[in-house]
Structure 1
Amino acid sequence: MPAATPEPESAESAGYQDVEDSAATGAGRAWWDANAGEYLDEHGAFLGPADFVWCPEGLREADAGLLGDVTGARVLEIGAGAAQCSRWLASRGVEVVATDVAEGMLHAGLGYDEAAGVRTPLVVADARELPFPDASFDVAFTAYGAIPFVPDADRVHREVARVLRPGGRWVFSVTHPIRWAFPDDPSERGLTAVRPYFDRRPYVEIGGSGRVLYAEYHRTLGDHVAELVGAGFVLDRLVEPEWPEGHDAVWGGWSPLRGALLPGTAIFVTHRRPG
């Protein structure tokens, strides 16, 4: 008889603190594996089984066109989660591969293939060590994946640059850095800055064993740009989606109340320097 799967460890403390990079390595994979079902139960209806949503503001690739014309392109998704974005592209005939470090997230989305009537190629992979040859993709993207959950996002950018062809496009969305100065609260409490914008300590949850269970990393706008330039990218656009009228969904700290006053998402549209 197989051994019973142990219950996930509960967090006993949470806050902004420095942790060793090695202690946080693997925390993202374990957290998303353990919480894949709960995450999709909460947000699956908003994201859809085969839709390309960039952010809690509801900006969709169908409207924004941030990837450009992908006709005939080979596209890579990083930190795909349940691969809804890749599935949307695949349903339109785009050659796309979806990757995520958490097998549980990819597996949780398999049922979406049946619902959408499309097969989405899925690969379990760390965004910092992509299992693809050099210059093998024309476009790469991630919608809130990978970058916030590793201490060394510069490695993600360098790996994406490696697998992109010269001139290839790299587009990613993250929590707008200014949000880190405010409580992650959708109410009026989330409108008062309580932390320095330049405090780069990650948000960390630690279990009773002392193990890091979850870690999310803050980078300023300048940090993101410096990492991109250092990896060989040119910044073409910085998109800050406005909260649309009539959108009343609340997602964690995102809400109509805060969205009317503060940007919640930053989307970097870049391309790899030729040569």
Structure 2
Amino acid sequence: MDEITDEAEAVRRPAGDAESSRANRMWWDRNADEYQKDHGEFLGDARFVWCPEGLDEEEARLLAPAGALAGAAVLEIGAGAAQCSRWLAAQGARPVALDLAHRQLQHALRIGDGLGGSAEVPAFPLVEADARALPFADGSFDLACSAFGALPFVADPERVLREVRRVLRPGGRWVFSVTHPLRWALPDEPGREGLAVLSSYFDRTPYVEEDAQGRTVYVEHHRTLGDRVRDVVGAGFRLVDLVEPEWPEWNQQVWGGWSPLRGRLIPGTAIFVCERD
């Protein structure tokens, strides 16, 4: 769920793991204020929404059945302002919210301070770290989740998946949402111009933004649906479900290339439900 800076020039070219991590840390630090201003109302302060379609964990229960979160240690990766973790805490879980960007976590502190702390939404740890090297011991968590966090922005997603598996206990569930791979063949436009195939779905060349000096300021990586499945299995997970949320009638918002027009015709999000054997 990205924002694009007006000053940046978009190109398609190779981009490695270190370059991607450095650029995206800087991008999210720079754009966190605008992101939270534009999308904070939709995301809520303590709501677990998986995607711009508005699929809510309160209803979907992809991570755990109702009542099963109490006492569970949950890692949220790419937490942003930790809205999902706040909802998890209200369900009795013990979340840890991890993000690469310092400014995003400052927004998490701002929202938490604004709520004042309560029995309904207990406090929880915020961790600034790279998902490629999670700073936790093996088997630290019962569950892990990510709503558009980390995975679209790394050159080697299987490295992140292996780290998630390492910190999960046997039988732990890992659920993550990403831009639906089909979207990469289409322009990132919410109107009818966004319904025509522009490039090859099979072209995995990263999307890169560069500033006027040619410095990399944003990177996003494309994986086909098959690539994502192979990454999951290769990292040692079992794929339990693949959810492609349909656009609901109540949702009239436009979020980047997501819109009611496109959402009722093509999938915009893919959610992978995985378990660690």
TM class, shorter-length: over 0.9
- SS of residue matched to 2:87: helix
Task: Structure 2: give runs of 5+ residues left out of the alignment.
Answer: none
For 1:240 and 1:12, how far apart are their aligned partners in 2? Answer: 31
In 2, are the aligned partners of 1:10 and 1:207 still within 8 Å (CA)?
no
For 1:30 and 1:144, how far apart are their aligned partners in 2? Answer: 17
CA RMSD of aligned residues (A): 1.3
- SS of residue matched to 1:196: coil
In 2, are the aligned partners of 1:49 and 1:115 still within 8 Å (CA)?
no
Per-residue CA shift, 1:215-250, capped at 9, x if unaligned? 011100111111111110000000000000121010
- SS of residue matched to 2:190: coil
- SS of residue matched to 2:270: strand
The question of 1:152 aligning with 2:156 is answered yes
Mark the CA change 1:85 to 1:12 in structure 2 (over 3 Å): closer, same or farther.
closer
Match of 1:32 in 2: 28
Sequence identity (%): 60
For 2:127 and 2:15, how far apart are their aligned partners in 1? Answer: 29
Match 1:18 to one of 9, 14, 19: 14
Match 2:63 to one of 58, 64, 67: 67
Q: Which amino acid aligns with 1:106?
A: L
- SS of residue matched to 1:25: helix
For 1:155 and 1:214, how far apart are their aligned partners in 2? Answer: 20
Q: Which amino acid aligns with 2:57?
A: E
Shift of 1:20: 4.0
Per-residue CA shift, 1:136-190, capped at 9, x if unaligned? 1010000000000111111110000000011110000000000100000000000
Match of 1:56 in 2: 52
In 1, are the aligned partners of 2:70 and 2:91 still within 8 Å (CA)?
no
Match 1:186 to one of 187, 190, 208: 190
- TM-score when scaled to structure 1? 0.93
In 2, are the aligned partners of 1:98 and 1:123 still within 8 Å (CA)?
yes
The question of 1:132 aligning with 2:136 is answered yes
Per-residue CA shift, 1:31-63, capped at 9, x if unaligned? 000111010000000001111000000000000
Shift of 1:93: 1.9
Match of 2:167 in 1: 163
In 2, are the aligned partners of 1:10 and 1:208 still within 8 Å (CA)?
no
In 2, are the aligned partners of 1:173 and 1:268 still within 8 Å (CA)?
yes
Match of 2:92 in 1: 93
The question of 1:175 aligning with 2:171 is answered no
Q: Which amino acid aligns with 2:124?
A: T
Per-residue CA shift, 1:2-55, capped at 9, x if unaligned? xxxxxxx97442132223444333111110001110100000000011110000
Q: Which amino acid aligns with 2:106?
A: H
Deviates more, 1:14-23 or 1:217-226: 14-23
- TM-score when scaled to structure 2? 0.93
Mark the CA change 1:123 to 1:63 in structure 2 (over 3 Å): closer, same or farther.
same
Per-residue CA shift, 1:91-143, capped at 9, x if unaligned? 22211100001111011221211333342310001101011000110100000
- SS of residue matched to 2:14: coil
For 2:88 and 2:57, how far apart are their aligned partners in 1? Answer: 10
Match of 2:254 in 1: 250
**Mapping of residues 173-252 of structure 1, within 5 Å:** 173-252=177-256
Match of 1:115 in 2: 114
